């Protein structure tokens, strides 16, 4: 069985679409309901069978490190007061010692550069997962294995050693906001373009924040080619690599939220609140109150 045991979470971006909230606080610590975005991403990876979690952080991101650590004063106070439910929320989900690592991306040179910064933490002969935490997925309650887990299953069942990219069908008018793939047949990727204009976009299939990559990607990333937005882009490295290494796509069949922008973030908050039976009817009342 081909192993996929490591996930990389690039969280070194500046989050400029969320200023001023992200001036001193990481975008990934913004809450959806009462849980920060990065915790959803971690739990998604853990539930898919990931055992090693590598966060690529930058300046002003220490709140993420602290969130994945014990908070002794808080824990002992809650323990004294027998607040077991709250205690579970603080520490019940924490990874075991040694399961997490934090790598510093000293300069935010782009997503591709952030992933390259994790290279020494990835086994040479093992595919790894990349999760963009701000691309959130809402797992439908009757689903046994989450989407990322199904991506891993797809990878393990392929005959060739490949990379897998999650894609979502988008409006053609929005192609300039995403990396777009060109496919042959149902799932083989033969080209990728970062943020193409609608007229030249090869499809409406957008790359959306979940990847299984072969470690050879680092050879392409370390060319440090500057791409769209003046940044070192992951899509550019994958585009070069897909000429000689098999890449497949898997279409997302869950609800997805782009929490990197304010509207997508608000939508995710509303959707998660409505999915919470304890507050659903009150949330509906609030929405009605402000809809008139
Ligand atoms: P985004 O394109 O969302 O950039 O990055 P950003 O900096 O987070 O946000 P805006 O566009 O300025 O509002 C996609 C992912 O890549 C990470 C981000 O943290 C996010 O998860 N990233 C981006 C890095 O880790 N380092 C970088 O240099 C750039």
Count H helices and E strands in the chain, helices first: 10, 13
Is the beta carbon of 21 within 6 A of some atom in ligand 1? no
Percent of the chain scored above 90 by pLDDT? 87
Please compute the mean of the pLDDT values over residues 108-124 and round it to a whole number: 95
Give the 3-state secondary structure of 16-66.
HHHCCCCCCCCHHHCEECCEEHHHHHHHHHHHCCCCEEEEEECCCCHHHHH
Confidence of residue 1 (pLDDT cuts 50, 70, 90): low
Q: Which atom of ligand 1 is nearest to the CA of 56?
A: 25
Q: What is the pLDDT of residues 159-190, one digit of tens each?
A: 888 999 999 999 999 999 899 999 998 899 99
Indicate whether 85 pLDDT > 90. yes
Which pLDDT tens digit goes with each residue over 201-257? Answer: 999 999 999 999 999 999 999 988 888 788 899 999 999 999 999 999 999 999 999
Is residue 110 in contact with ligand 1, taking CB distance under 6 Å?
Answer: yes
pLDDT of 2 over the 70 cut: yes
Q: Please give the Cα distance from 132 to 137 (Å, whole number).
A: 11
Q: What is the pLDDT of residue 28?
A: 96
pTM: 0.95
Name the residue with tokens 């995710």: 268
Question: Is the distance from the beta carbon of residue 112 to the nearest atom of ligand 1 less than 6 Å?
Answer: no
Q: Which atom of ligand 1 is nearest to the CA of 132?
A: 21
Residue 273 confidence class, pLDDT cut points 50, 70, 90: very high
The fraction of the chain above a pLDDT of 70, given in percent, is: 100
Pairing assessment for the beta strands 247-251 and 163-169 based on DSSP bridges: parallel
pLDDT at 283 over 90: yes
Q: Looking at residue 282, what DSSP letter applies?
A: H
Q: Is 131 in the pocket of ligand 1 (CB under 6 A)?
A: no
Going from the Cα of 69 to the center of ligand 1, the distance in angstroms, rounded, reads: 23
* 41-64 residue pLDDT tens: 999 999 999 999 999 999 889 999
Q: Are 210 and 163 within 8 A, CB to CB? A: no
Q: Are 100 and 55 in contact (CB under 8 A)?
A: yes
Q: How far apart are CA 174 and CA 281, in angstroms?
A: 34
Residue 8 near residue 54 (C-beta atoms within 8 A):
yes
26 lines ligand 1 (CB under 6 A): no
Q: According to the model, what pLDDT value does residue 149 have?
A: 97
d(CA 103, CA 51): 17
pLDDT at 159: 86
* DSSP annotation string for 172-231: GGGGGGSEEEEEETTTEEEEEEES--GGG-S-SEEEEEEEEE-TTHHHHHTT--B-GGGS
Q: What is the mean pLDDT of the chain?
A: 94
Q: How far is the CA of 283 from the centre of ligand 1 (A)?
A: 31
Q: Is the peptide bond before 54 cis (omega within 30 degrees of 0)?
A: no
Tokens of 135: 């691309």
Ligand 1 contact via 48 beta carbon (within 6 Å): no
- Exposed / middle / buried, residue 110 (Cβ in 10 Å: 0-12, 13-18, 19+): buried
pLDDT for the residue 223: 86
* Pocket lining: 13 vs ligand 1, CB cutoff 6 Å: yes
Q: Are 248 and 189 in contact (CB under 8 A)?
A: yes
Q: Is 132 in the pocket of ligand 1 (CB under 6 A)?
A: yes
């Amino acid at each position: 069985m081909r192993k996929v045991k490591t996930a990389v979470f690039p969280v070194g971006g500046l989050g400029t679409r969320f200023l001023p909230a992200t001036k001193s606080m990481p975008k990934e610590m913004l809450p959806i309901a009462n849980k920060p975005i990065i915790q959803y991403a971690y739990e998604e990876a853990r539930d898919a069978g990931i055992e090693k979690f590598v966060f690529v952080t930058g300046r002003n991101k220490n709140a993420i490190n602290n969130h994945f650590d014990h908070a002794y004063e808080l824990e002992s106070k809650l323990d004294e007061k027998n607040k077991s439910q709250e205690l579970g929320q603080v520490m019940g989900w924490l990874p075991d010692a040694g399961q997490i690592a934090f790598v510093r991306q000293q300069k935010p040179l782009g997503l591709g550069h952030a992933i390259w910064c994790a290279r020494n933490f990835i086994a040479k002969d093992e595919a790894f997962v990349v999760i963009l935490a701000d691309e959130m997925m809402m797992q439908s309650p009757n689903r046994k294995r989450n989407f990322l887990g199904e991506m891993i299953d797809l990878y393990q069942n392929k005959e060739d050693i490949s990379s897998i990219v999650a894609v979502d069908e988008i409006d053609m008018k929005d192609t300039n906001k995403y990396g777009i793939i060109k496919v042959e047949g149902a799932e083989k990727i033969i080209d990728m373009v970062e943020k193409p204009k609608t007229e030249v976009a090869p499809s409406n299939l957008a790359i959306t924040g979940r990847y299984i990559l072969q470690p050879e990607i680092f050879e392409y990333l370390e060319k440090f080619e500057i791409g769209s937005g003046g940044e070192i882009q992951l899509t550019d490295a994958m585009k070069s690599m897909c000429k000689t290494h098999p890449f497949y796509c898997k279409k997302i069949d869950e609800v997805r939220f782009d929490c990197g922008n304010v509207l997508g973030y608000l939508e995710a908050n509303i959707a998660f609140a409505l999915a919470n039976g304890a507050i659903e009817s009150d949330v509906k009342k609030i929405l009605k109150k402000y809809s008139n």
